[in-house]
Amino acid sequence: MIRLRIPRAPTSPPSALPAELRWDAPPTSVALLLTRREVLKAASVVAAAMSLPLVRTEQAWARARGRYFTARERITLGALCDRVFPADHDPGATALGVVKYVEGLLTALGVRHPPIFTGGPFSGRTPFADAARGVPGRKHPRNAFKRFPALTPRQELAWRLELYGTAEVPELAAFEAQFGPPKVGLRDIYRAGLQKVDDVAQATAGAPYAKLSTTDQDTVFGLLDAGAFAPDPRRNGATFIDIVIRHTLEGCFAAPEYGGNFRTRGWTMLGLEGDSQPLGYSIFDTTTGAYVERADHPMSTPNPDELGPGGTIVPRPLTADGLAVQTSIATLASIIPVDTV
Amino acid sequence: MRKRAVPAVLGNTTLATFDVCIIGSGAGGGTAAHVLTQAGKNVLVIEAGPNPFPGLDDPDVVPMPLHSNDELKYSVRGYIDQIGALEPRTWRQRATDAAQVRASVNTLPKTVGGAFTHADCKTPRFNAVDFRLKSAVEELIAATPGLAVPGFGGDAGSANFADWPFSYDDLEPFYVEAERLYGVQGTDDNPFASPRSAPYPMPPGVAMYLGVVLTRGALATSFLGSPLHPHTYPAAIASRPTDDGRPACVDCGLCSGFGCPSNAKGSPAVTSLRRALLSGRCQLRHDAQVVRLVHTGSHVGAVEYIDADGALQTATADAFMLAASPIESARLCLLSEGLGNGSGQVGRNLMFHLQSNVNGFLPERVHGQRGRAVTHGITDFRGVEPGGDALRVVPMPDGPRVYLGGICEFSSSQGLPITEDGGVYAVDLPGPFGRRRGIGLKNALRDGALGQHLIGLIMQAEDAPQLGNMMDLDPTVRDVFDRPVPRVTYASHAFERASRVFYVPFMRDVVTNAGASQAFVNPTDGALGDPPSSSHVLGTLRMGTDPATSVVDAGGRFHDVDNLWACDGSVFPTSSGYNPTLTIIAVALRIAHGIAGTAPIL
């Protein structure tokens, strides 16, 4: 395993977000904005206030069904994730099930087998090897991934803290007091974050986020990512947007048992085989006492699709984006003198 | 806390009295449990972490573990890791700095089977010269005009090197036993390896493509007048079905950082510890966090631990062994009123390996998701002569020099899309350098720009022992068990900086000669202001003959406690430049056989 070590950014890019929408805006400036904006006429403020009980009812309804998001939150989150990982000729975030993945995480502790850690050892996606013949066999193991083992009491405690925050874990009150501000749980982070996404969309583009064109969604995303959310000191300085991006990647590429990676299409589009046990890539042939590699997925030789005539290697070209990140990493690494330890 | 449905105990649950209580079930503790039960002792093993091997005490079948090929489970959610949110650590570079709270400072996995569970189980031996490194360097300085080595000679006060209290020849039979017990694959193709009295138990498995490519690069690289000497990498991974019922490895790929779903990796759980449990003389209590040793100052009577349900329990035995990993073993002494610390050395001489990581991008896809993470490497940069009995003197423009680097692993990404690709582009790379979102992010992911193209060398370079590099108890921060957390004070020494500066250009040549573009050197943890992240944690309970300068004697017993031993990486006087686990196992075998009065089982 290679652990890359990347120097941190010297400065953050200048923010185009109006000062009153920044996370560190003085409290009064939001009120000023509200009075300035024509879109927020008195009538709509009243309407918003009237709808508050409805939102509460919907949250309670979601809870009763073992879910967390309201319909509107789900739509907003889906739109946001699709700007992180959009559809093209391959599916995007929502088609891969990212929203379901995030909701599965946020409601993980309400169920008998919390979807935090898959069971083991095998998913059943690949068969056992036929060891006597050195080929893939016909028999598939049962899917043990979907039998999520119960958490140990300490694991449960840690995940309760992660999802519900310090305030909801009274047995950790004294321990948590050592670390400054209380930890805000992921559930509250999502509820407040998605509300703010729609607030910013409304204030800057005149409609809730999901109702905007994808172009406007991209513009608003840029604003949201440039100061709308406070870096969380209890989460290594991550903002809500950082969390959404990480969870989007997880929902696209984690094992499908977690709710995303629909029909393993996340893996397929990357050319990955996914979990390969128990077949793996080399089969020990018990008859001959030798290892046999899989022709379709070789281990010691290049991929078949990059082999040219006479065994020459014809690399599949990278996109400009792939080349750019490679160059970024090599460039950033070389900023730091080798003799600095 | 919620009550457990399954009792957290395995093995012979009827045992009521114990000859030996071992704290920790990893490479040190599992090994000792095996030797002592074979010798007829009743052994209690207490493990702080959970058990991913239900049915580990079943005599009929090797258990199917809860481990799986799942990136999210291990790399993101830390299935076998110590839980940083409940057990943080603190870290500072110098004693004058304020310590910072971090979720992880060299924190090792906390699970039945210990840290070897997460490793890809690379098991090179140390060199013969490693056990008398201090004498060897001093003799060389005396015999070589102009030779200067940081931390030696006139600079000896800046480091704290010491010879081991036994030799390579003393340890060699235990290396043989260790390789058989854990099932090591390998072959004699490394000229710098020290002599062995028995062949490897198993031949090497299939080569990874990246191993083939970097082997070519190494053979095309000239170093001190000759090509480098690439070799297969010894590993405790079964390449043949084993006689303890484990299958041959299928090279599933999610190896380094993951538990093994098939038991082909020689985790202590399914090798030494399982044998101990099947002996009928061993009981394993897991999810049991030892918090204190109860003692008279020179004799330990009991340990106190917090069980899975949060209740304080006591266990008694005639003798006790610390095998909780260097930072936690030393911490237990300090949490027990400074037990065994007559020398003031407990927690000191904490060592990691200075890992130098040189990478580049291979034009074709390297598919590191197929294989055992590392199948090849070079030992030319360890800094010893062939056979590993003498140090290599390098003529430099400013005089003769000795550079004790380390073995280099040929490595690549393992094709992990969330953590090795997407997370780097979208979150780790700052602003304009990355691909935060959108089709750009998707393109970079589909390219596998890192996950399918990054290859390189990782050098596990020797780390000089220093008195000031240490763990002690943090004066303010406490863990969820209301105990002071370990505070790590660590800064690198000129000794390892010199070897990094000398060898890194050659490492870069290997990467370039393998056909990779844009070869670059990763900054170290220290250069980025981060705590060291190496999982090779050594020192803190130094082994030696002098009670004034060491904590335990040559047999692993505390100088000033008559029934307490240490048998993990904490006893190492020096760190050498090799993955340490096989040597941890061999030393634990030697210590345990010493207690039992038995000879290595060969």
Task: Report chain A's terminal Cα–Cα distance, integer Å.
Answer: 21
Instruction: Determine contact, residues B151/B161, Cβ cutoff 8 Å.
Output: yes
CA separation for the pair B419, B77 (Å, rounded): 11
- Give how far A159 is from chain B: nearest CA, Å: 9
Which of A90, A120, A325 shows the shortest C-beta gap to B429? Answer: A325
Q: Tell me the whole-structure pTM to 2 decimals.
A: 0.95
Task: Report chain B's terminal Cα–Cα distance, integer Å.
Answer: 47
What residues contact residue B95 under an 8 Å CB cut-off, 6+ apart?
Answer: B468, B489
Name the pairing type of β-strands B43-46 and B282-285.
parallel
Residues B37-73: tens digit of each pLDDT:
999 999 999 999 999 999 999 999 889 999 999 999 9
Which of B2, B449, B479 shows the shortest C-beta gap to A325? Answer: B449
Residues of chain A with Cβ-Cβ distance to B535 below 8 Å are none
Instruction: Determine contact, residues B62/B274, Cβ cutoff 8 Å.
Output: yes
Mean pLDDT, residues B499-523: 98
CA separation for the pair A137, A274 (Å, rounded): 18
Choose among B258, B241, B239, B251: nearest CA to B210: B251
Question: Any chain A CB within 8 A of the CB of B500?
Answer: yes
Choose among A275, A248, A270: nearest CA to A322: A270
CA distance to A328, B203, B294, B402, B407, per residue, from B108 (Å):
31, 29, 25, 32, 21
Q: What pLDDT is stored for residue A132 in this prediction?
A: 84
Residues B231-255: tens digit of each pLDDT:
999 999 999 999 999 999 999 999 9
- Give how far A64 is from chain B: nearest CA, Å: 23
Tell me which DSSP letter residue B426 carries.
I
Q: What pLDDT is stored for residue B432 in this prediction?
A: 87
Lowest mean pLDDT among A30-34, A234-238, B133-137: A30-34
Whether residue A42 has pLDDT greater than 50: no
Q: What pLDDT is stored for residue B594 in this prediction?
A: 98
User: Which amino acid, residue B485?
Assistant: V
Q: Is A90 helix (H, G, I), strand (E, B) or coil?
A: coil
Residues of chain A with Cβ-Cβ distance to B496 below 8 Å are 341
Beta-carbon count within 10 A of A210 CB: 18
Residues B420-473: tens digit of each pLDDT:
999 999 999 988 899 999 999 999 999 999 999 999 999 999 999 999 999 999
* Cα angle A172-A174-A178, degrees, rounded to a multiple of 5: 105
Whether residue B275 has pLDDT greater than 60: yes
Instruction: Select the highest-mean-pLDDT range: A56-60, A128-132, B247-251, B527-531.
Output: B247-251
Residues A59-96: tens digit of each pLDDT:
888 887 889 999 999 999 999 999 999 999 999 999 99
Residue written as tokens 């056979």? B387
Choose among B370, B161, B72: nearest CA to A257: B72
Which chain A residue lies closest to B504 (C-alpha atoms)?
Answer: A338
Q: Where are the extended beta strands (E) located within B479-576?
A: 484-489, 517-521, 538-540, 564-566
Instruction: Determine contact, residues B557/B392, Cβ cutoff 8 Å.
Output: no
Helix axes B27-38, B581-596, angle to 10 degrees: 30
When the pLDDT of each residue in chain B is averaged and rounded to a whole number, the result is: 96
- Give how far A40 is from chain B: nearest CA, Å: 31
Whether residue A40 has pLDDT greater than 80: no
Which chain B residue lies closest to A332 (C-alpha atoms)?
Answer: B433
Question: Any chain A CB within 8 A of the CB of B4?
Answer: yes
Q: Taking CB atoms and an 8 Å limit, are A121 and B65 in contact across chains?
A: yes
Instruction: Determine contact, residues B261/A121, Cβ cutoff 8 Å.
Output: yes
Instruction: Determine contact, residues B469/B349, Cβ cutoff 8 Å.
Output: yes
Mean pLDDT, residues B133-143: 98
Q: Taking CB atoms and an 8 Å limit, are A277 and B262 in contact across chains?
A: yes
Residues β-bridged to residue B101: B90
Residues B536-564: tens digit of each pLDDT:
999 999 999 999 999 999 999 999 999 99
Q: What pLDDT is stored for residue A27 in this prediction?
A: 56
Residues of chain B with Cβ-Cβ distance to A282 below 8 Å are 205-206, 249-251
Q: Taking CB atoms and an 8 Å limit, are A152 and B287 in contact across chains?
A: yes
What residues contact residue B455 under an 8 Å CB cut-off, 6+ apart?
Answer: B210, B213, B214, B359, B360, B361, B362, B366, B368, B410, B411, B412, B511, B514, B516
CA separation for the pair B350, B575 (Å, rounded): 9
Peptide bond into A278 cis (omega under 30): yes
Helix axes A98-106, A240-253, angle to 10 degrees: 110
Peptide bond into A121 cis (omega under 30): yes
Higher pLDDT, A33 or B301: B301
What residues contact residue A176 under an 8 Å CB cut-off, 6+ apart?
Answer: A161, A166, A169, A182, A183
Residue written as tokens 């500066």? B501
Q: What pLDDT is stored for residue A32 in this prediction?
A: 38
Which chain B residue lies closest to A175 (C-alpha atoms)?
Answer: B480
Q: What pLDDT is stored for residue A257 in this prediction?
A: 98
Q: What pLDDT is stored for residue B532 in this prediction?
A: 86
Higher pLDDT, A7 or A137: A137
- Give how far A68 is from chain B: nearest CA, Å: 21
Structure tokens at A73: 């939150």
Whether residue A34 has pLDDT greater than 70: no
Higher pLDDT, A27 or B215: B215
Residues B283-294: tens digit of each pLDDT:
999 999 999 999
What ipTM describes this predicted complex? 0.96
Q: What pLDDT is stored for residue A35 in this prediction?
A: 41
Could you write out the three-class secondary structure of A63-75?
Answer: HHCCCCCCHHHHH
Mean pLDDT, residues B110-115: 97
Q: H/E element holding B401? A: strand B399-401
Q: Taking CB atoms and an 8 Å limit, are B240 and A284 in contact across chains?
A: yes
Mean pLDDT, residues B401-411: 98
